[in-house]
Amino acid sequence: MAAIESRDVSVKELFQKFYIVPRYQREYVWGKNQVTQLLGDIRSEQMEGEYSEYFIGSVVVCPSQTERGADDLIDGQQRITTLFIVLCAIRDRLSALGEENLEGIKKSIVDVDTDQYGNDCHRARLEPQYKDAEGVFDDLIEGRKITSKDTRSIKNISIAYNVVKDFLSNDLDDSVVEIKKFFGYLMANVKLIKIYTDSFGRALKIFETINDRGIGLNAMDLLKNLLFMNAEKTQFEYLQECWKFIVDELYKINEKPLRFLRYFIFSKWGVPRLAKDELYEWLINNDKKIGLSDNPVGFTEKLKEALKAYAFFLKKKDSRGEQNYILENISFLYRKHTSARQYLVLLLAGRNLSSEVFSALCRDIESFLFVCILVREEIRTFEALFAKWSLLLSRVRTMEDYKAFSKETFQAQKKKHSSKFYDMFRSIDNRSLPKYQFDYVLGKLTQAVDRDAYGSDNPLSYYCNTKEIHLEHILPQKSDCDVYKEFGLGADDPSLIWSIGNLALVEKSINMSLGNKAFSYKKRIYPKSRYLLTRIISEKPDIGNTAIDRAVAHMHPFDEWNKNTIRQRAQWLAELACTVWNVPSEHYGRELDMGGP
């Protein structure tokens, strides 16, 4: 036999052999869309005529390393598994419709084979060995309903089976004649290229060549193939366990595998830019640097360790699994945008820092991100910058090292935006930011003042809980005669009503008593609030010589409320914001370390 054989085969010819899906293969990942499209394409081609053929790609096989008389399926597992599910669903539907002559289709699913002792035994045409398959294939083969959905693979197989069942009922009208015609077309006219090799190593090499640069499979799949190509056979089981953890964890946290892989590379090697379709080529070209060939297990372990920390970060925890309120703060900035995660590059780079230094990094990231949001600096443009900073961060060991790093990176960048930050902050209204970011701003200001004045340890989520803490418009959204009389012209101006200078946070109970009343009434109520930033509107308590006391020393209570006082308070809050987000400001004239979460 030649080392490599390649020929066109029909689905019927394909399922005359027995196939093993090795343990190291990824689980079944096709979803509803892929199965629906495959069935639709086959059906459309069938409608072109009985001689029309439909090509669905290639498969790569080699003699099985574990099962005599079978082939290991190296490439094409998703398509072949889907075809096997289709055959099972057709058999079950025809049987349910009363068709009894099903020997042909049954032999394509299970047939008699001879074991090593010369005994006949029934054997499935497709046998997955990966753990996620569990007993689901037994259910398929026996025509039982799939009840367990404990793993992603089982869930996807169940979804695929139901998609096929719906297709047979809806598109083929549950007609025995039409279903059998479709089955006949599928078996005879749907073609594949079957590539047979004499060895596992050669099969993997062909797999890599066919999928060069991510064509057909993505870089994560090709990376796995590359790791197994370079690993010893004795390492396969452990390598598969590590890879299964990576795949399962990415699924649990709902993260795109290629994004995580890119961020890992950025954080580790400081690559400035790398598109998804360039990942695999970069891995190949930088093999010596990253150790794929020399130590595939070691590389996989590093990837696994990084993913553990990555998953913790998305859960607002540090790399040790401890709750981190600063990471929770960052989540408030991007509550509606799961794609805005570039900051994870820096967190990955700093995951092994001490708790104190890591918290300082998180504070700087939060501050930097908000400054960029407010001045409308496109965050995605900072991927290259964060990758560059990751290399600098890798040299940090002590807090002194970190302060020097922060000055060179975060502070230098924020200084460029300081004037624009101040100007835009004092102009903030409901058109400037989405509501969730607006809530973040008011919550952050209120929290910072309370923390430094009273030592409050309430997390930011406490101040952003709209059920207990309400947004107060000092100039009401709906003004009555008393408000118009006191405020004058502009009492119904949205730009004033929603100005940052006109907004405060108050307790639910206090807000109910404030209502839409005039300022002459409200100013007697504000001092009852526990939030210092709200109390300062009409009363200035003596809180001692604290950082915030100094920061708000220029703020004074108001006796009346009008356009000028709204603008004045907006300016004061902008000056306070420069302190809270640690932005160098010529307007404020000094930088204060707000610290804490």
Residue 160, both tokens = 């695929």
Residue 271: left (phi > 0), alpha (psi -120 to 50), or beta?
Answer: beta
Helix (H) or strand (E) holding 439: helix 435-454
Whether the pTM exceeds 0.75: the reply is no
Average pLDDT score over residue span 212-217: 44
Residue 48: pLDDT band (50, 70, 90) is confident
Average pLDDT score over residue span 442-467: 86
d(Cα 477, Cα 542) in Å, to the nearest integer?
Answer: 32
Residue with structure tokens 């009492």?
Answer: 491
Q: Answer yes or no: is pLDDT of 214 > 50.
A: no
Q: What is the DSSP string of 382-417?
A: GHHHHHHHHHHHTT--SHHHHHHHHIIIIIHHHHHT
166: Cα within 13 Å, side-chain hemisphere: 10
Residue 42, both tokens = 């086959």
Q: What is the DSSP string of 472-529?
A: EESS-SS--HHHHHHH-TTTT-HHHHTSGGGEEEEEHHHHHHHTT--HHHHTTTGGGS
pLDDT of the residue at 337:
63
Share of the chain above pLDDT 70, in %: 90
The crossing angle, in degrees rounded to 10, of helices 355-374 and 418-425 is 70
Average pLDDT score over residue span 221-239: 84
The predicted-structure confidence for 290-337, as pLDDT tens digits, reads as follows 988 899 999 999 999 999 999 999 999 999 999 999 999 998 888 766
pLDDT of the residue at 371:
95
d(Cα 501, Cα 566) in Å, to the nearest integer?
Answer: 5
Least confident of 230-244, 410-424, 454-468: 454-468
pLDDT of the residue at 597:
42
Average pLDDT score over residue span 273-283: 83
Three-state secondary structure call for residue 13? helix
The highest-confidence range among 139-143, 358-362, 414-418, by mean pLDDT, is 358-362
pLDDT of the residue at 216:
46
Query: Which residues, at least 6 apart from 327, have a Cβ–Cβ distance to it below 8 Å?
Result: 313, 316, 317, 318, 347, 362
Q: Answer yes or no: is pLDDT of 590 > 80.
A: no
Residue 453: pLDDT band (50, 70, 90) is confident
Average pLDDT score over residue span 455-465: 84
What is the overall mean pLDDT for the chain?
87
